Chains A and B, each alone.
Chain A
Amino acid sequence: MGIDKERPASPVRVNAGGFALPGTSKANHTGSWRLERPLYATSPSPCHGACPAHEEIPVYLDHLAMDRPRQAWEALVAANPLPAVTGRVCPHPCETSCHRGSYDRALSIHSAERFLGDLALREGWSYPGLDGEPREEAVAVVGAGPAGLSCAYHLRRAGYRVTLFEALPEAGGTCRIIPDYRLPEEILSREVERILATGIDFRPGQKLGRDISLEELEEGFSAVFLAPGRQKNRSYSVDHALPGDLHHGLDLLREWRNVGSLPRWERAVVVGGGNTAVDLARTLLRTGSREVHVVTDEELPGRPSPTGRGTMPAIAREVAMALEEGVRIHTGRRIGRLILREDRVIAVELLHALKEMEGEAPVHRAFTGTETILETDAVIPAVGQEVDPAGIGRLLRNRPFLSLIPTGQVEGERRIFAGGDASPGGGLVSQAVGSGHHGARRIDAFLRQKELSLESPPSPIPFTSLNLAYFVERPAYEPRELPVAARTGFSEIESTAPADLIRTEADRCFSCGHCLECDNCWTLCPDGAVLRTAGIPGIPVPYVFDYDYCKGCGLCARECPSGHIRMSPEP
Chain B
Amino acid sequence: MSSQPSVDTTALRKLQPRFSGIESGHGACQGCGQALAARLVLEAAGPDVIVANATGCLEIFTTPWPQSAWNVPWIHSLFENVAAVAAGIEVALRAQGRTTRVLAFAGDGGTFDIGFQALSGMLERNHDVLFVCFDNEAYMNTGIQRSGSTPHGAWTNTSPAGRVRQGKRHFKKDLLTIISAHGIPYAATASVAYPSDLRAKVRRALDVSGPSFLLLHSPCPLGWGHDSAQTISVDRLAVETGLFPILEMERGKVVSSMKIRNPRPVREYALPQFRFRHLLMDTPEAREELEHLQALADANIERYDLLSEAPGPRDSGGADTVRRGGSRWG
Chain A residues close to B by CB (< 8 Å):
1-3, 10, 12, 14, 20-30, 33, 39-42, 62, 65-66, 469-473, 507, 511, 516-520, 522-529, 531-534, 536, 539-541, 544-546, 548-549, 551-555, 557-559, 561, 566, 568
Contact = CB atoms under 8 A, between A and B. Distances in A.
Nearest to B71: A24
Contact of B321 (A472, A548, A568): A472
Contact of A23 (B5, B62, B67, B329): B67
B12 A23 contact: no
A251 B185 CA distance: 83
A39 to B, nearest CB: 4
Nearest to A528: B24
B28 A527 contact: yes
A470 B229 contact: no
Interface stretch (B14-22, B142-150, B283-291, B293-301): B14-22
11 contacts: A2-B64, A23-B67, A62-B324, A517-B326, A523-B195, A526-B31, A526-B231, A536-B15, A539-B5, A544-B4, A559-B232
Contacts of B17: 532
A282 B39 CA distance: 65
B308 interface: no
Interface in B1-56: 1-5, 7, 9, 12-13, 15-17, 20, 22-28, 30-33, 35-36, 39-40
> Most chain-A CB neighbours within 10 Å: which of B3, B23, B30, B329?
B30
Contacts of B210: none
A105 to B, nearest CB: 15
A12 B229 contact: no
A526 B69 CA distance: 13
Given A533-B12, A553-B229, A554-B227, A527 B2 contact: no
Given A522-B326, A552-B30, 13 more contacts: A1-B64, A23-B66, A25-B64, A25-B67, A27-B67, A28-B26, A30-B27, A472-B311, A528-B24, A531-B16, A541-B5, A553-B231, A558-B233
B231 A29 contact: no
Given A42-B1, A473-B311, A526-B36, A28 B229 contact: no
Contact of B12 (A24, A516, A536): A536
B317 interface: yes
A1 B31 contact: no
Contact of B24 (A2, A42, A529): A529
B322 A28 contact: no
B324 A516 contact: yes
Nearest to A522: B326
Given A30-B25, A517-B325, A544-B5, A470 B320 contact: yes
Nearest to B195: A523
B24 A26 contact: yes
A555 B229 contact: yes
Contact of B30 (A518, A553, A558): A553
B271 to A, nearest CB: 15
Nearest to B312: A472
B326 to A, nearest CB: 3
Q: Interface residue tally of chain B, by bracket? A: 35 or more
Nearest to B65: A20
Given A41-B2, A66-B324, A536-B15, A519 B329 contact: yes
B35 to A, nearest CB: 4
A552 B227 CA distance: 12
Nearest to B30: A553
B143 to A, nearest CB: 16
Given A25-B67, A555-B228, A557-B229, A516 B322 contact: yes
Contacts of B25: 24-30, 549
Contacts of A1: 27, 61, 64
A518 B195 CA distance: 13
B323 interface: yes
B183 interface: no
A3 to B, nearest CB: 8
Contacts of B61: 1
B141 interface: no
A526 B33 contact: yes
B203 interface: no
Contacts of A507: 324
> Most chain-B CB neighbours within 10 Å: which of A25, A507, A539?
A25
Nearest to A10: B66
A39 B217 CA distance: 29
B328 interface: yes
Given A66-B324, A469-B236, A470-B321, A553 B31 contact: yes
A526 B35 CA distance: 5
Given A520-B322, A544-B4, A531 B9 contact: yes
Nearest to A3: B27
Nearest to A35: B30
Contacts of B30: 33, 551-554
A517 B324 contact: yes
> Most chain-B CB neighbours within 10 Å: which of A39, A41, A519?
A519
A53 B69 CA distance: 52
B194 to A, nearest CB: 10
Contacts of B126: none
A209 B250 CA distance: 88
A532 B32 CA distance: 21
A311 B31 CA distance: 53
